[in-house]
Structure 1
Amino acid sequence: MHVSHLALHNFRSYDLVDVELGPGVTAFVGRNGQGKTNLVEAIDYLSRLSSHRVASDAPLVRAGAPQAVVRAAVVKDGRTAVLEVEINVGKSNKGRINKSTLPRVRDLVGLVRTVVFSPEDLTLVKGDPGDRRRFLDDLLVLRAPRLAGTIADLERVLKQRATLLKTAGHARRGSASQESALSTLDVWDTHLARVGAELLVERLRMVDDLRPYVGDAYATVARGAGRTDATIDYKPSFDLPASREHHDVVEALLAELQRRRNDELDRGVCLVGPHRDDLLLALGRADDPTGTRLPVKGYASHGESWSFALALRLASYDLLRAEGDDPILILDDVFAELDAERRDQLAELVAAAEQVLVTAAVPDDVPKALAGARFTVAGGEVSRADG
């Protein structure tokens, strides 16, 4: 799978831009602020309907414009389809395939699959649990696009339930308004248990699938390092039942919601559910007979943290590739953050992908192993630089 053509209208800094692409490596080179990252961000947005740089869509629309359009011709198995997303300010977005409007914009999700490496990846290791949950959910949706609906349902349930917790918590104890809120809360507890258990079970399954890829990727990226035994584990916000079947997790989640209700009413927030879970990252020595592993956060060096972040992305790529077509690899200003050895190792590992898109501030930041097409990005213009 690869993108053969990208067209943007009122996306970020671009009024209008068209770029012809091809398989192999393509590098966009330009000083910071010239718009090179906007190009690869658009392709990634088309993949997941979210940006790896910002949390909302509003910054993606050019200042003063009512909407932005991202259009890409995608080649898969020799056949080309034109995918388009219309990002509207203050209104619902729209998706199209070959000019036909889709019933739901999220039907675009997963038709293009991307894996992005960026300087922000260090937050996967050093950041809050929310960064790691987003990593898991983004990968889940690429594997099973239907889960985009599950995640949206969970966000809706959590928002409604948080409002009820605050209403019930602030009402006079035993009053009619409190009783009404608590009764409604029971209904939303059921919704949370059902949709939360679905997402939790899928996350558990995916972590199990991803774990061996992470171990292999880290050992490759950090070859020669003292600690090369990398592991990941899922940490839920409550004790899981022995069975991880959906109905058993639903019952366990409902029981925990009842147990923690008073705490939730006191604090006015949802304390139980997949929105409170974490992905635990640990490192050890493969030759340590005790099998001791230390959390990466707080114990790993800066270099080890970067290696683990790269391993998570490489593992994502390897997992998706094992289940279908090569995802499009996007390396967004990542080489400037790496030392020479890790830079060469990463370039060597990704060079054989069907399509690799690289952004860099200067030509020397692009490793020799990633020779290919090159564009110069400056002043809102994108021009071919390799003849």
Structure 2
Amino acid sequence: MRLSRLRLQNYRSYADTELAFEPGPNALLGFNGVGKTNIAEAIGYLSSLSSHRVPQDGPLIRHGEDQAFIRAEAHRGGRTAFLEVEINPGRANRARINRGSAVPAQQILGTLRSVLFAPEDLELVKGSPSVRRRFFDTLAVQLRPALGQLRQDYEKVLRQRNALLKSIRHEGFTPTHESTLEVWDIQLAQTGARLLRARLDMVTALRPHLRQAYQDISKSVRTATMRYLSSLDGHDEDKEPSSDPAPENSALEEAGTDQLAEQLYQGLQSVRKREQDRGVTLIGPHRDEIHFSLDTTSVKGYASHGETWSFCLGLRLASYRAMLEDDPEPGAEPILILDDVFAELDAKRRRRLAELATGAEQLIITAAVDDDVPSILLSNAYRVGSENQISTAVPLKAGENQ
């Protein structure tokens, strides 16, 4: 899977810019602030309908404009597809495939797959549980596009249920509240069970790939792993997980969707009084955590800077390998994007990452310092500059990388 052309209109710093890409490595080189990451972000957005930098679409729109367009020519094996996403903050985004009629943007999911690693990924370890939940949900949506609508459905039910709980907190509990709350309990349990099952499947799929990817990058004898901590098992999002040894697998990983729905429903009943007192839903996938460990020690707060970087990079490479495993058809490999990553790695990790990345059908790299990028990844290199606040990419001349 690869892109041959990418056009950005009113996207971030780009008024109207078109770039051509080649198979294999493509390096975008230039000073910080000229728009390299905007290109990487746009490709990632085309795959997942989300940014790795911001949770909302508003910042993606060029100043003074009210919508943006990302257009691309994508190739999978011998097939070509023309893709377009129209970003409309505050309104429904739309998409077009092969210049057809506009459809809801969700329908483009699955057409193009990519894996993007950026400095922001340190938050996968250091950040809040919501960052880790979003990582797994975004990956699950790329693999199973129908889950995109499921996430929206769950969030809608959660908002409605929380609004009702706040009303109960202020007005007191009435028979009308009881019947309405029962309806939302059932819907939250049903949608939450499907979302929880998808996350558990992602944890199971990534675990062996993470273990191998971490070893490939770090050459460490330590074992990288993860475990899913659910509010159903008493996990409290407001408290840090214990670093005590615990089994990788939980009983939840063996449960079917119907079993999970019943457990969620019963869990909601068990905390109903607490929820009414606090005015918030305390049980469900929105309160869960994914705990990362090296051997039996938590990565967060205990791993060194180098170990943390290797773990985060291992998560992204594990995602890449999980996608390959999910669709082994030739030409279906996801695009691998490394956004300003090499500057954060030592020389050994740079070489190892370069060796691991060269096998990608298409690799997009951004870097502010040319020498940060191993020379084997500079076969197709471009200098990104800024002129009148509009960034453009031009080929890097032979011998310019000095």
Q: TM-score, normalised by structure 2?
A: 0.90
- Further displaced range: 231-240 or 107-116: 231-240
SS in 1 for 2:65: coil
SS in 2 for 1:101: coil
1:296-311 mapped onto 2 (5 Å cutoff) = 296-311=299-314
Aligned to 1:262: 273
Give the residue type in structure 2 aligned to 1:192: L
Give the residue type in structure 1 aligned to 2:230: P
SS in 2 for 1:52: coil
Q: How far apart, in 1, do the equivalents of 2:4 and 2:178 lie? A: 55
Are 1:373 and 1:386, in contact at CA under 8 Å, matched by a contact in 2? Answer: no
The verdict on how the C-alpha distance between 1:237 and 1:371 changes in structure 2, with shifts beyond 3 A counting, is same
Q: How far apart, in 2, do the equivalents of 1:361 and 1:79 lie? A: 34
Give the residue type in structure 2 aligned to 1:296: V
1:1-387 mapped onto 2 (5 Å cutoff) = 1-173=1-173, 178-223=174-219, 225=220, 227-239=221-233, 244-284=255-295, 293-324=296-327, 325-379=332-386, 380-386=391-397
Are 2:200 and 2:253, in contact at CA under 8 Å, matched by a contact in 1? Answer: no
Are 1:123 and 1:131, in contact at CA under 8 Å, matched by a contact in 2? Answer: yes
Q: How far apart, in 2, do the equivalents of 1:170 and 1:372 lie? A: 64
Are 1:241 and 1:248, in contact at CA under 8 Å, matched by a contact in 2? Answer: no
Post-superposition offset of 1:230? 1.2
Q: How far apart, in 2, do the equivalents of 1:47 and 1:41 lie? A: 10
Give the residue type in structure 2 aligned to 1:370: L
Aligned to 1:290: none
The verdict on how the C-alpha distance between 1:241 and 1:282 changes in structure 2, with shifts beyond 3 A counting, is closer
Give the residue type in structure 2 aligned to 1:130: S
Q: Deviations over 1:305-348 (max 9, x none)?
A: 11111111110001101222211000001111111111111111
Q: Identity percentage over the alignment? A: 49
SS in 2 for 1:53: coil
- Further displaced range: 180-189 or 5-14: 180-189
SS in 1 for 2:50: coil
The verdict on how the C-alpha distance between 1:90 and 1:298 changes in structure 2, with shifts beyond 3 A counting, is closer
SS in 1 for 2:255: coil
Aligned to 2:242: none
SS in 2 for 1:17: strand
Are 1:114 and 1:329, in contact at CA under 8 Å, matched by a contact in 2? Answer: yes
Are 2:2 and 2:75, in contact at CA under 8 Å, matched by a contact in 1? Answer: yes
Q: How far apart, in 2, do the equivalents of 1:266 and 1:307 lie? A: 43
Post-superposition offset of 1:303? 1.1
Q: Deviations over 1:74-129 (max 9, x none)?
A: 01111211000011233221100111124321011121101011001111112111
- Further displaced range: 140-149 or 96-105: 96-105
Q: How far apart, in 2, do the equivalents of 1:70 and 1:103 lie? A: 15
In structure 1, stretches of 5+ residues that fail to align are 285-292
Are 1:10 and 1:69, in contact at CA under 8 Å, matched by a contact in 2? Answer: yes
Q: Deviations over 1:331-376 (max 9, x none)?
A: 0011111111111111111111000000011211211231221111
The verdict on how the C-alpha distance between 1:297 and 1:89 changes in structure 2, with shifts beyond 3 A counting, is closer
Q: How far apart, in 2, do the equivalents of 1:362 and 1:92 lie? A: 39
In structure 2, stretches of 5+ residues that fail to align are 234-250
Give the residue type in structure 1 aligned to 2:271: R
The verdict on how the C-alpha distance between 1:344 and 1:194 changes in structure 2, with shifts beyond 3 A counting, is same
Q: Deviations over 1:197-216 (max 9, x none)?
A: 01111211221111111111
